[in-house]
Amino acid sequence: MSNEDFRLAETVMYDAETREFIMTLKDGSLHTWPIRLLEMVQSTPDAWFPLEDITDQQLVDVAVYGGGKYILWDGLDQSFSVVDLLNGIYGREEWMRSLMATAE
């Protein structure tokens, strides 16, 4: 198994009680993020619109995708790169700036 293989997702689940998603990597490590950190958007040719009123039932429907390179909320049409998540990247640059502004 290569170093890159260790950074692949094995499982992912959403915990409605804590509003976090939990990912286990192929190396057995466990990683948890609050769902509020993720930029979930709908895109049009001209703009990005935040998804609103996402339910726990929609968030429970999450899966590992692309051989472990992504996690996918198919019903919401949202996917996130595992490598990006591990590097603390949760959305576009604007989103990341807004997260940093609220953390200060």
Please state, in angstroms and rounded to a whole number, the distance separating the CA atoms of residues 8 and 26.
6
Kindly report, residue by residue over 40-83, the tens digit of the pLDDT: 999 889 998 999 999 999 999 999 999 999 999 999 999 999 99
* Residue ranges of domains in the chain: 3-103
Look at strands 48-50 and 9-15 and give their pairing: unpaired
Best CATH choice for the domain 3-103 from the list 3.50.50.60, 3.80.10.10, 3.40.50.2300, 3.30.2020.40: 3.30.2020.40
pTM assigned to the model: 0.90
For 61, the enclosing helix (H) or strand (E) is none
Q: In the predicted model, what is the mean pLDDT of the chain?
A: 93
- Show contacts of 45-51: CB within 8 Å, 24+ apart: 48/92, 51/76, 51/78
In this structure, what are the phi and psi dihedrals at residue 92, rounded to the nearest 5 degrees?
-65, 170
